[in-house]
Amino acid sequence: MQFFGGSEISPSPPVPTATGNNAHMMYVFNRNGVCLLYREWNRPLHTLNPQQDHKLMFGLLFSLKSLTAKMDPTKYHFVSLSLHSFQHQFSVAVYNFLLMMRSAEKGNLGIPQLPGQGCSFHSFRTNTYKLSFMETPSGIKFILVTNPRTGDLRETLKYIYNLYVEYVAKNPLYTPGTLIRCELFNTALDQYVRSIA
Amino acid sequence: MAAIYSLYIINKSGGLIFYKDYGSKGRMDTNDSLRVASLWHSMHAISQQLSPINGCSGIELLEADTFDLHCFQSLTGTKFFVVCETGTQHMEALLKVIYELYTDYVLKNPFYEMEMPIRCELFDINLTQAIQKDRVALLGR
């Protein structure tokens, strides 16, 4: 399911797909929910204070991932059977076997999923914005909020991930798990986001 | 012809009032379908809080790797959402048709109690007809 292969270090930026305004804002979270980066370019409405906003965003994404993993139609779903139908010993053996098979079913809601495990969503759209989401194998989550007419931004997010790798992950002065304070990353990001509009 | 996996109708408090699956791919345990419905209700509400612009009315389309989820919310807060194959066309039109069937066969039924699970035969019959594959293709007109 992961697709971060490729021999190029920094692929060329994909063809711009967005029409209209610039992107609204962007979030980067690590696997523990720490907000590593929050960039705002165009946000007329602030409903909550920044800490609550970040927590709510992370919580929403965590729950949505849980929901999509549960609703995945390609996973086998074990439907519970009533106990009274298992009267005979053979039936008991079958019942035990089926209980073992439960591990093959889709996880119950709320079970923590590893990055890349289970079906994940890549975007959702409302009438006022479109949120594009990408999670890397290391659990870094990239979220880009744009206008609703934007096309598929998966390639865009991959490019932004490459910018992150180049300017943040490879920066010897950056401590993983802390706020990103890399000027080069911010500049490159702003420049790129302006170009996709 | 792209497939529909399941249909859910949620009342304004987030409780599941109707669930129908089409095929084994959409099938879900009763308890799980209730949980998924309430979870969706909350996610829909939270997404409105995170909007950068005024006037957000919640998630209309969720695109995942293996399925799409289209949601329609009526003016009264009743939500209709359908889980379908990625790239299925005309789901918004289908949801509006289902809403029309809901108003005709459920709301106008004098024995139907508001916000309760839907047990209206005529609704089921007409819903099955509306979801038939050739009918969904016609919605593209």
Determine the longest span between alpha carbons in chain A, in angstroms: 70
Contact A129 B52 (CB under 8 A): yes
How far apart CA B127 and CA B4 sit, in angstroms, is 13
Please state the domain extents for chain B: 2-138
Task: Judge contact between B70 and A147, C-beta under 8 A.
Answer: no
Ramachandran angles phi, psi of B7, nearest 5°: -130, 135
Task: Judge contact between A44 and A191, C-beta under 8 A.
Answer: no
Parallel, antiparallel, or unpaired: how do β-strands A141-146 and B4-10 relate?
Answer: unpaired
A73: closest chain B residue by CA: B25
H-state helical runs in chain B:
30-49, 91-102, 121-131, 133-138
Locate tokens 């929901």: which residue?
A67
Q: Does A121 touch chain B (CB under 8 A)?
A: yes
Contact B62 A64 (CB under 8 A): yes
Task: Judge contact between A99 and A86, C-beta under 8 A.
Answer: no
Q: Does A192 touch chain B (CB under 8 A)?
A: no
Whether pTM exceeds 0.80: yes
The CATH class for the domain spanning B2-138 reads: alpha beta
Task: Judge contact between A23 and A41, C-beta under 8 A.
Answer: yes
Contact A47 B83 (CB under 8 A): no
Contact B67 A57 (CB under 8 A): no
Q: Going residue by residue through chain B (141 aa), what tens digit of pLDDT does each one get?
A: 468 999 999 999 999 999 999 888 888 899 999 999 999 999 999 999 999 999 999 999 999 999 999 999 999 999 999 999 998 988 999 999 999 999 999 999 999 999 999 999 999 999 999 988 666 666 665
ipTM: 0.89
A105: closest chain B residue by CA: B28
- The DSSP secondary-structure symbol of A84 reads G
Count CA atoms within 13 Å of residue A61 on its CB side: 29
CB contacts, 8 Å: B27 with chain A? 77, 79
CB contacts, 8 Å: A126 with chain B? 47-48, 51, 56-60
pLDDT in tens, A47-87: 889 999 999 999 999 999 999 999 988 876 554 444 444 45
How far apart CA A40 and CA A126 sit, in angstroms, is 19
What domains are defined for chain A? 23-196 (3.30.450.70)
B-interface mutation test, from A21, A53, A109, A124, most B Cβ less than 10 A away: A124
A146: closest chain B residue by CA: B52
Please give the structure tokens belonging to residue A105.
């079913």
Q: Going residue by residue through chain A (197 aa), what tens digit of pLDDT does each one get?
A: 334 444 444 455 554 444 445 789 999 999 999 999 999 999 998 888 999 999 999 999 999 999 999 998 887 655 444 444 445 566 666 666 655 554 345 567 777 778 878 889 999 999 999 999 999 999 999 999 999 999 999 999 999 999 999 999 999 999 999 999 999 999 999 999 988 86
Order of strands across the sheet that contains B79-84: A35-40, A25-29, A141-146, A130-135, A121-126, B59-64, B68-73, B79-84, B4-10, B16-21
